[in-house]
Amino acid sequence: MGAKIASVQAREIMGGRVPALEVTVTTDTGAVGRSTPESGVSTGAYEAAFVLDGGERFGGKGLRQAAANAEEIGRELISMEVNHQREIDNLIIALDGTPNKARLGANATVGVSLAVCEAAANAAGLPLYQYIGGVNAATMPMPIIGICLSGRYRDPGDTRWLKPSYEIIPYGAGSFEVALDMADAMHREFTRLVIERYGINVYRRHSLENSYNSFWMVGAIKDDREILDLMTRAIQNTHGTENIGIYYDAAAGCYYEPDIDRYVGIYSEGVKTQADMVAYYAQLVKDYPIVSIEDPLQEEDWEGHAMVTAETGIEIVGDDLFTTNIERVRMGVAAGAANSMVLKITQVGTVTEALDAARYCQSHGYNVHPCGSRGDRRTIADYAVGLSAGQVRGYDQHRMMAFQADLGSAAIWPGKALFKGNKQH
């Protein structure tokens, strides 16, 4: 007999950007698991629904009801064996009873599911990444590190954050610590170049953990190529494109206007068709050391995503496109759309559903891109290692360093080869 669930407790806490839900699962052996899911800033239409309190408090984003819902779920799980993840998740799905977790809320369902998984790992005496991936899980995820946000050339009042967001991947580092050193040197050089060109007014603050806020480019630039020019120069002036590549999240759906079937104000002023966008990406990949682009078109455009994938020959990542949902991944595989999926367990609502989607991706030659932007930054790297994903964004730096130390000489560093069919620069 294994450890059994003895209690499930939940409360509202303050997350990284918005209030978060904290769920604690305790077993009868004393093993504990915790999770801290939070809502996203850029969200896809096909994501599972969160339950928020509404009203004035925290702008309607309070989570007292979600906490109550998580404890409602917990009462049904008492005395279940904590390592029966699929059985537990299936019960959670049945308790909710809706197609998109709308009754209990995906924040409540995933909060319990994630905490159960960690409690099971602790009950088994295993690191979470080994519990997920087995004792031979040894692929160290390469960190994706934020550098700058876009200039924004349109604001109808419903754009979600200052997308695109521009990041780097130090794929030539060989270890996490060296990757941080490379990223720091590149970011300091990028900062110097930005201030030299635009003045101190665009500079805000620098932190490798939250470096998107380093610059406020709105109004300072007329085309996002200005950002890419300076990023490329900073890479060339430090460790070179043989060691560092550019990743960016286009979040193109933020700029798509369905009534005219056009993208308005993305990358520069003006209007772009699907064909314009595809041609634009193909040219960017020729001009800059870009190895990966996330959500290059709006989330309904399977044909367009397939065209971008074929034209660029690099990693094309689906976030809003796939929403960690195996049914949408199946549609993508059938269409040849993208070749990588962002893994955000909060998007689908349970660990089992998320891992099913991730493993389906890998079985069809797609990459998996774990991201902790929806909370649980502490454990997202465990899922990256457990799935041998080879990359991670929105992670806990201290945990990544601990993984590097734990894996030691057994650690596998994927390098640039992870990014499919990349054109050489």
Residue 201 sits in the same domain as residue 57: no
| End position of a domain, from candidates 58, 92, 125 | 125
Q: Is residue 133 part of a domain?
A: no
Residue 187 sits in the same domain as residue 298: yes
Q: Is residue 424 part of a domain?
A: no
Q: Is 8 helix (H, G, I), strand (E, B) or coil?
A: strand
What are the strands, taking DSSP E only, across 305-385? 315-318, 340-343, 367-370
Residue 38 sits in the same domain as residue 78: yes
Question: Considering Cα of 25, then 31, then 36, then 37, what sign does the dihedral take?
Answer: negative
Task: Look at residue 223 in the predicted model and tell me its pLDDT.
Answer: 95
Q: Is residue 231 part of a domain?
A: yes
Residue 40 clears pLDDT 70, i.e. is over it = no
Q: Is 182 helix (H, G, I), strand (E, B) or coil?
A: helix
Residue 367 clears pLDDT 80, i.e. is over it = yes
Q: Is 299 helix (H, G, I), strand (E, B) or coil?
A: coil
Q: How confident is the model at residue 202 (pLDDT cuts 50, 70, 90)?
A: confident
Q: Is residue 334 part of a domain?
A: yes
Residue 162 sits in the same domain as residue 59: no
Residue 41 sits in the same domain as residue 97: yes
- As a whole number of Å, the CA-based R_g of the chain is 21
Burial status of residue 360 (CB atoms within 10 A of its CB: 0-12, 13-18, 19 or more): middle
> Which CATH number belongs to the domain containing residue 32 in this structure?
3.30.390.10
The total of structural domains in the chain comes to 2
Angstrom distance (rounded) from CA 226 to CA 73: 50
Task: Look at residue 425 in the predicted model and tell me its pLDDT.
Answer: 40
Q: How many CA atoms lie within 13 A of 385 on its CB side?
A: 29
Task: Look at residue 43 in the predicted model and tell me its pLDDT.
Answer: 63
Q: Which domain holds residue 60?
A: 5-125
| End position of a domain, from candidates 92, 125, 158 | 125
Residue 119 sits in the same domain as residue 147: no
Which residue, chain included where needed, has tokens 């759309």? 337
Q: List residues bridging with 67 in a β-sheet.
A: none
Residue 75 sits in the same domain as residue 212: no
Q: Is residue 209 part of a domain?
A: yes
Residue 111 sits in the same domain as residue 183: no
Q: Is 326 helix (H, G, I), strand (E, B) or coil?
A: helix
Q: Are strands 271-272 and 262-264 parallel, antiparallel or unpaired?
A: antiparallel
Q: How confident is the model at residue 208 (pLDDT cuts 50, 70, 90)?
A: very low
Q: Is residue 423 part of a domain?
A: no
Taking residues 64-87, report their average pLDDT.
98
Residue 300 sits in the same domain as residue 271: yes
Q: List residues bridging with 341 in a β-sheet.
A: 318, 368
Sheet holding 245-249, edge to edge: 367-370, 340-343, 315-318, 290-294, 245-249, 165-169, 142-149, 391-393
Is the separation of the CB atoms in 13 and 22 below 8 Å?
yes
> Which CATH number belongs to the domain containing residue 329 in this structure?
3.20.20.120
Residue 423 clears pLDDT 50, i.e. is over it = no
Residue 65 sits in the same domain as residue 212: no
Task: Look at residue 45 in the predicted model and tell me its pLDDT.
Answer: 77
Residue 107 sits in the same domain as residue 225: no
**Spatial CB neighbours of 102, under 8 Å, sequence gap ≥ 6:** 48, 49, 51, 96
Task: Look at residue 201 in the predicted model and tell me its pLDDT.
Answer: 79
Q: Is residue 132 part of a domain?
A: no
Residue 224 clears pLDDT 80, i.e. is over it = yes
Residue 284 clears pLDDT 70, i.e. is over it = yes
| End position of a domain, from candidates 125, 153, 171 | 125
HEC string of 92-135? HHHHHCCCCCCCCCHHHHHHHHHHHHHHHHHHHCCCHHHHHHCC
The one-character DSSP state at 214 is G
Q: Is 52 helix (H, G, I), strand (E, B) or coil?
A: coil
Q: What is the average pLDDT score of the chain? A: 92
| 306-330 pLDDT per residue, tens | 999 999 999 999 999 999 999 999 9
Task: Look at residue 183 in the predicted model and tell me its pLDDT.
Answer: 95
Q: Is residue 137 part of a domain?
A: no
The one-character DSSP state at 3 is -
Residue 172 sits in the same domain as residue 296: yes
